[in-house]
Amino acid sequence: MRDGARDSRLPPGQIATTKFPVMNAGSVPQINVADWDLHLFGAVKAEMRLRWDDVKSLPQSHYTSDVHCVTTWSRLDNDWEGVRFSDIFGLIEVDPAAKFVMVYGEQGYSANFRVDDLLREGVLLAYRYNQTELSPEHGFPLRLVVPHLYFWKSVKWVRGIEFSSEEKLGFWERFGYHPHGDPWLQERYADSLK
């Protein structure tokens, strides 16, 4: 599968690069999958912790998409493999009033979403990139990939997914990044909110 057809592959204000810059607020965590889990919690009937083997036993999906970083670089045609967010969502019973999600990475990083945005096609919890295991600096063992939002939303080293009926702000969103972050609408910073 690949991203939908548009006249231009590049959203306004973006410049294509073939590099894959490493961007993170802290250091690169060294993770042993034997000590790792993914916590699903919040407005759910029963919270869950998925171990690494549980994640690997879910259907493996593949999606090619473009990365658009708010700092203006874009990288086209990235091959991601992993588990669809919608497949994870199907494992738990989420309160229908819970329209918002916070995805947490290691070391306190987070990004906020509307549930609908994460249920779109192409949203993966990825463990492979361009036919190889995800590297530590790009988010090993598991990173979120949300192709239709700026890349700060694609949380690396994911450890938690929290459902809630109220919108909360993630790490960069609290510092003034746009709560939604659509690159086609240039939703870069909250001061562009009308």
Cβ-closest residue to ligand MTE?
A: 105
Q: Of 121, 103, 83, 112, nearest to 162 (Cα)?
A: 103
Minimum CB distance to Mo ion smaller for 43 or for 102: 102
Q: Is 159 in the site for ligand MTE (CB under 6 A)?
A: no
The DSSP line for 40-63 is: EEESBSS-EEEEHHHHHHSPPEEE
> Amino acid letter at 186?
Q
**Which stretch in 39-47, 54-62, 89-97, 101-109 sits in contact with ligand MTE by CB under 6 A?**
101-109
Question: Residue 1 CA to chain centroid, in angstroms?
Answer: 18
Q: Which of 14, 65, 112, 154 binds ligand MTE (CB under 6 A)?
A: 154
Query: How far apart (Å, rounded) are the C-alpha atoms in residues 142 and 127?
Result: 5
Angle at 4 between CA 176 and CA 188, to 5 degrees: 10
* Residue 22 binding target from ligand MTE, Mo ion, none, CB below 5 to 8 Å by type: ligand MTE
Q: Which is nearer to ligand MTE, 71 or 165 (CB)?
A: 71
Residues 65-84 that bind ligand MTE (CB under 6 A): 69
The binding site for ligand MTE (CB under 6 A) comprises: 20-25, 69, 105-106, 109, 138, 151-152, 154-157
